[in-house]
Amino acid sequence: MKLKTKGLKKVYLNGATGVDDLNISVEEGKFAVLLGPSGCGKSTLLRLISGLETPTEGKIFIDGADITGWEPKKRDVAMVFQNYALYPHMTVIENLEFGLKSRKIRKEERKQFIKWAADLLELKELLSRKPKELSGGQRQRVALGRAIVRKPKLYLFDEPLSNLDAELRMKMRGEILTLHRRVNGTSIYVTHDQVEAMSLADIIYIMKEGRIISSGSPRELYERPPHLFTAGFLGFPAMNLLKGDLSGNNFITENGTRISLEGSRQLAKPQNITLGIRPDDVKIVESGDIKGKIVSLENLGRSVLLFVELEKGERIRVQGEGNYGIGDMISMRFLSEKMFYYDHAGRLLM
């Protein structure tokens, strides 16, 4: 199924705006991720799509049909929550069966649906247990099973892995992606974790303060961030962002550091901009035009993340290899072809 929203807006009784003029389009079979900081409206959008919230303005379409006023049970949508939302007094099989019973699905069909879901998610050995007897990962699989058991057209995931440890989160990401491909459904996934977004998504919508700031494939957004917020939010370590003036072949930071732009993309006229460059595109060299002192560092395994204070006081992140110590002086060169220029409104200039 295809999902589309048009001019979607939600204003609460206290005057707070949850989402504002949201337009997204998710093609059938795609995995879309809503990514952004806490409070940016991701979960609100999911609740509007599911029918748990009513929009103040705008429309929601599924396969071209306007479903804005439909009750949740009529939308053929399944939602997986952060807290699993399992019934503690019911066994796994009873939890899986509950939604089917409420929709008056015949007993024989219920058995078939439950067997299919249990086989897919490896739940057969757990069917007689209650939630308190399950691990976090097992509970999450039951929550996924309850969502897929009736084979809906649209799957909504509201930060389903937040309560799991790092290793289990990585394992469950793989299971969710495998599940998405097997059921051939359309999925919308909410997270503030960019690793989840980059590993799961066909398309990412970056959200800030209730609005879509950028959208595109993970690679497109990483390699050419179309907005300053996206540049700073997406990627680990975070992109270096320096404010200053661009003039000819030089960029002069607000503090006065001069960065040569020889060979880089040039703008038609001088202007005040923000220059962005990722830490691994700042190269440590024997003799470079940019010099600084290492004030902190983090070992990342094969590489080390250096926090460097430039001669004029700005601090940047540099990713390198080798043995470095706090207080060491280094020379650097910015890869000119990897620089990004953003105007005062945060738009990518070229």
pLDDT digits (tens, 9 = 90+) for 48-75: 999 999 999 999 999 999 999 999 888 9
Tokens of 28: 């059938």
What dihedral angle (degrees, nearest 10) is formed by the CA atoms of 182, 187, 190, 195?
50
Find where tokens 């086989």 sit.
119
pLDDT at 98: 86
d(CA 311, CA 319): 19
Q: What is the pLDDT of residues 175-191, one digit of tens each?
A: 888 888 888 889 999 99
pLDDT at 197: 94
Burial class for 297, CB neighbours closer than 10 Å (0-12, 13-18, 19+): middle
Q: What sign results for the dihedral spanned by CA atoms 68, 72, 76, 81? A: positive
**Range with top average pLDDT, 36-45, 79-88, 129-138, 333-342:** 36-45
Whole-model pTM: value is 0.88
Q: How confident is the model at residue 318 (pLDDT cuts 50, 70, 90)?
A: very high
d(CA 319, CA 330): 12
Q: What is the pLDDT of residues 217-227, one digit of tens each?
A: 999 999 999 99
Q: What mean pLDDT comes out for the span 222-237?
A: 94
Domains by residue range for the chain, with CATH: 3-226 (3.40.50.300), 240-342 (2.40.50.140)
pLDDT at 42: 95
pLDDT at 261: 77
Residue 135's alpha-carbon distances to 164, 169, 260, 269, in angstroms, are 10, 13, 55, 60
Nearest to 311 by CA among 256, 232, 264: 256
pLDDT at 16: 93
Q: What letter represents residue 143's amino acid?
A: A
Assess whether pLDDT exceeds 70 at residue 212: yes
Assess whether pLDDT exceeds 60 at residue 268: no
Lowest mean pLDDT among 40-49, 181-190, 225-234, 289-298: 181-190
d(CA 203, CA 207): 13
Q: Cis before residue 226, ω within 30 degrees of 0?
A: no
What does pLDDT average to over the chain?
Answer: 90
Q: What mean pLDDT comes out for the span 248-256?
A: 87
Assess whether pLDDT exceeds 80 at residue 251: yes
Lowest mean pLDDT among 49-58, 76-85, 151-160, 264-273: 264-273
